[in-house]
Amino acid sequence: MEPWYRQLGFYHNPFSIKPLSYHNEIYGYDLDSIQKKIAEGNVLFLEGEYGRGKTSILKKIIKQFGGRRNLIYYSCNRLEGQLDLDQLLKGAGSFLRRLIGNNSKDAIFLLDEVQDLSVEDGERIARLYNDKQIKSIILVSHDYQDVKFGKELSALIEGNVIRLNEISDQEAIRIVRGRIGNIRLLSEATITDIFDISQRNPRQLLKNCEKVCRYAVEQGARIVGAEHVRKVLGAVPNKLEKPEIKIIQ
């Protein structure tokens, strides 16, 4: 039997959350403003809960600056000791595997999972920035309050904490419509109610839409109804429409 999405005319799962799928989805923040601050040489802290779009931002930053400047990506949750800044400045460990050589003054540091960065390493990075050895720093984590920074790095970040806010119902609808188009499978009311059930998390929204749509199609329906949401997600949204159910012949 064909996968549920093939029965609807999709070649691939439209709700895939794999890193390479639908990587151009950008919602809930001003990407141009972020990129401008980086180009101007600022120190930024990017804060957002899991599933809010941090990965999409990082991909856009890497695409924007990786080809024109020296960009060094490092995930601090891989640290097992002191961060080797000398090796990073030479390009070892770079996400893009770009060799920086001795010309590091235009380097952009993109440090992910900085809740695992030590205060000492943070201060060393701040000194490199203040000594103009690196151009810009982007620090990323789920919550600014959970990260311990020294005085020097804290002073550089002040006023440049960028929080990924909760997206609106209309943006949630745009995400889903961008995946499935305007087919009747999911009404706007159904999308927003599944979004609420998903605690308004875009990543969880896509996961739950996939679960509900798979179940509905496997039951022979081409439109998701309240009974499908109840069966799969264990909840019945108050606003959920009850559309006519069509059986696949």
Break the chain into its structural domains and give their ranges. 4-14+168-233, 31-163
pLDDT grade, residue 13 (50/70/90)? very high
Portion of the chain with pLDDT greater than 90, in percent: 35
State the SS3 of the chain. Answer: CCCHHHHCCCCCCCCCCCCCCCCCCCCCCCHHHHHHHHHCCCEEEEECCCCCCHHHHHHHHHHHHCCCCCEEEEEHHHCCCCCCHHHHHCCCCCCCCCCCCCCCCCCEEEEECHHHCCHHHHHHHHHHHHCCCCCEEEEEECCHHHCCCCHHHHHHHCCCEEECCCCCHHHHHHHHHHHHCCCCCCCHHHHHHHHHHCCCCHHHHHHHHHHHHHHHHHCCECCCCHHHHHHHHCCCCCCCCCCCCCECC
What pLDDT is recorded for position 155?
94
Does the model's pTM come out above 0.85?
A: no
What is the C-alpha to C-alpha distance for residues 179 and 206, in angstroms, rounded to an integer? 9
Residue 22 has pLDDT above 90, yes or no: no
With respect to CATH, is domain 31-163 assigned 3.40.50.300?
yes
What pLDDT is recorded for position 241?
44
- 132-169 per-position pLDDT tens digit: 888 899 998 888 888 889 999 999 998 899 887 778 89
Residue 68 has pLDDT above 60, yes or no: no
Which amino acid does the sequence have at 63?
K
Check residues 143 and 93 and name the one with the higher pLDDT: 143
Portion of the chain with pLDDT greater than 70, in percent: 74
Q: What is the mean pLDDT of residues 185-210?
A: 91
